[in-house]
Structure 1
């Protein structure tokens, strides 16, 4: 298998049979309750509620991708402090933790990508990388329909973004570019691009790679609110590009 690490599917029984502490149980209960409440959504459906949930989904999702991820974790651009705090507050409404919590675990992920030290790698199984790590305090540092949808949009980057898709750049890890994940996660699905150039405010590096978060950053830059916006040069991209894209196996 060369430099690639084999992805294993951790048996559900093995995960459930591990030692759980009180913190793990509380988080598991909260997550389970949120998903259970979503089952009642069809019985209380109204178009007003739908569009409100959609608007909040987009807003809080953008808070995570723009603030927690690209601004705070990678410092790929600067914002005025009042706007930086506003976006961070919006991100907190996604109930994915505090900025310090989110940023620290994400930086740790980049430092040890797809190794045993990675807090959420699919080498420990898809479900562990997707959501299991959140309810496993031994590996963690440091929700309605709208909350659940934003949560899984983010979590799919950790799991699917390292399993399915194509690699354009030689990053030495399992990160993949995945078009449908980019649609779900507001541009975060161009994950191989991100691991190749983690300092970049733009993840959809090709014109056809839709990156909604980058479009917002670009607007903020045009009006002078986003400054020191970092993107890779053509020379930097050519240094890391594969001779041809490699398709991931399922």
Structure 2
């Protein structure tokens, strides 16, 4: 099994000989053209409009238990695909995964509709290399620390950065994934897995209710609203968790813990510990800090599907704690 490095720190230009020898790539180049930007705007805008319409829609027509179940199940499938798969396994190498699990996590993360896996990982490794400093692709402190600058920076960190024409060089920041044929294939198949993700709820809803209306409501809640909610929760880790929150651990950036995002983010909002110890398989290390991603990794380990899990020891946690900060921080 291959453990991905925590962060690629090479300063070589991506056009060097070694990188040119890597297979040519995955879906999405290192620059983002107008067609891709328009497509991105649609994938962000349409689910967001559905999210805005969710309350009046529920008031007028209601939400069935089937719709709720499909929305919840698809939400946490994609969320854990991102947190356990894209983030803790592929980006930081927090554990090794048996081949079937590794591929399943890549597919589950792709179904969150947050972009091809290689691009996602490359962006996040670059974020850690330059966290809240020049070179960070999505720091909310990009424009300064005044209130107007921070408001502008929060929008940039939340979603504006995705429309930047210049993208993170994938060959530089994720060469290990490009070299993996299966992961490279999943990355190229992003449109396929997006289609599966969006069509699965209406297929189930239509077959269970045997009606087009059941298919439509399942698509509205299980596809559109679910994708919009997951997008904005994930993006909030980039924006909100780098602007506010408690910081009981030593890190070189402004990452903070935001408790009210913990359940919806599957444990990712315990962001201060993550930046203090990026390869840790558990982010919620203090008392009462819920981290469903860590629990899922523990189950994978118990089943023998995950090995070499980097669980944080008490000494490791203590070494990263700020002096004078109590455990309940």
SS at the partner of 1:222?
A: helix
Alignment pair present for 1:46 and 2:69: no
2:43 paired residue among 5, 14, 30: 30
Max Rg structure: 2
Cα distance per residue 1:73-118 (max 9 Å; x no partner)? 0010011111110121011011111111111000000000001210
Aligned residue in 2 for 1:132: 160
The answer to which structure has the higher helix fraction is: 2
Distance 1:27 1:135 in 2: 8
Alignment pair present for 1:233 and 2:309: no
Q: Contact 1:68/1:102 (CA < 8 Å) preserved in 2?
A: yes
Q: Contact 2:245/2:257 (CA < 8 Å) preserved in 1?
A: yes
Using the TM superposition, give the Cα deviation of residue 182 of structure 1 relative to its aligned residue in structure 2, in angstroms.
1.4
SS at the partner of 1:184?
A: coil
Change (3 A) 1:136 1:72: same
Matches within 5 A, 1:107-118: 107-118=125-136
Distance 2:168 2:49 in 1: 24
Distance 1:180 1:245 in 2: 21
Q: Contact 1:169/1:193 (CA < 8 Å) preserved in 2?
A: yes
Q: How many residues align?
A: 227
Aligned residue in 1 for 2:249: 169
Q: Contact 2:94/2:309 (CA < 8 Å) preserved in 1?
A: yes
More divergent stretch after superposition (228-237 vs 183-192): 228-237
Q: Contact 1:133/1:140 (CA < 8 Å) preserved in 2?
A: no
Aligned residue in 2 for 1:78: 96
Cα RMSD for the two superposed structures = 2.0
Q: Contact 1:67/1:91 (CA < 8 Å) preserved in 2?
A: yes
Distance 2:95 2:140 in 1: 29
Using the TM superposition, give the Cα deviation of residue 30 of structure 1 relative to its aligned residue in structure 2, in angstroms.
2.9
Compute the TM-score of the two structures, normalised by the length of structure 1: 0.84
Aligned residue in 2 for 1:14: none
Using the TM superposition, give the Cα deviation of residue 160 of structure 1 relative to its aligned residue in structure 2, in angstroms.
0.9
Distance 1:51 1:198 in 2: 33
Aligned residue in 2 for 1:98: 116
Aligned residue in 2 for 1:64: 82
Long gaps (5+) in structure 2: 1-32, 143-152, 171-193, 195-223
Using the TM superposition, give the Cα deviation of residue 236 of structure 1 relative to its aligned residue in structure 2, in angstroms.
2.4
Aligned residue in 1 for 2:230: 150
Distance 2:284 2:40 in 1: 33
Aligned residue in 1 for 2:188: none
Q: Contact 1:134/1:140 (CA < 8 Å) preserved in 2?
A: no
